[in-house]
Structure 1
Amino acid sequence: MKPRVGQTLVSTVDATTVVVVRWPEKDLEVTCGGAAMVDPRGAEAGATGTPDPSQLGGSQLGKRYADEELGVEVLCTKPGQGTLALNGVPLPLKAAKPLPASD
């Protein structure tokens, strides 16, 4: 599945929900807890899978997760126990932009 910008994706192993902010033309797999994230209106949504114990780092509400190299960015709208990953590699939290100094 190739997500599109603005699409909501849900985890099949926990409560995690994200919104796609940026996505390249490449076909990449975004996972949570080791299981692929799916469209909430799709047939796979709501399925209760078992998370990979090594992928339970958690996600944080309101935080952006991004891979600048690949051009992927997602916004967590509902946190969960699973680690967000892209092609099996955990997505790091996107660092906040520093504010300009005010003199």
Structure 2
Amino acid sequence: MDLKPGSRWKSAVCDAELVVVRAPKSPVSLECGGHPVIPHAEARSGDLTLSDAHAAGSAAGKRYSDPESGLEVLCSKAGQGSLSVDGRAIGAQEAKKLPSSD
């Protein structure tokens, strides 16, 4: 899996679509819904099902990052599957606090 910045991926089991913002430091497996993601242009096989342990969902417009590998992705389309890297769940980044303009 070549996770280059700008590359587009989608879940093999739900509607989630992702764009890589920052590549990992070393090769990793990006997963959604408990299964590895597939290239955006590839068709879903249809024989995979969403894992109950990875069904927390992914929200459109949110960035998800894995501090261990350095991978950062942007969810461009929401889905029922939650994201993980090499089996480790990753969560959405918190919005950065901006300084007060007063």
TM-score normalised according to structure 2 size: 0.92
CA RMSD, 1 decimal = 1.2
Percent identity of equivalent pairs: 39
Match of 1:56 in 2: 55
Alignment match, 1:46: 44
Letter matched to residue 6 of structure 1: G
**Structure 1 residue matching 2:39: 3-state secondary structure:** coil
- Corresponding residue for 1:17? 17
Q: Which amino acid aligns with 1:2?
A: D
After superposition, the Cα gap between the structure-2 partners of 1:25 and 1:69, relative to the gap in structure 1 and judged at 3 Å, is closer
**TM-score of the aligned structures, taking structure 1 as reference length:** 0.91
The unaligned stretches of length 5 or more in structure 2 are none
Extract unaligned runs of 5+ from structure 1. none
**Number of residues of Structure 1 aligned to a counterpart in Structure 2:** 101
Displaced runs of 4 or more, over 4 A? none
Amino acid of the structure 1 residue aligned with 2:67: E
Opposite residue 11 of structure 1, the aligned amino acid is S
Deviation, structure 1 residue 52:
1.0
Q: Is the 8 A contact 2:25 2:69 kept in 1?
A: no
3-state SS of the aligned residue for 2:53?
Answer: helix
1:19-61 deviations in Å (ceiling 9; x for gaps)? 000012411000001010011224xx32221111111000001
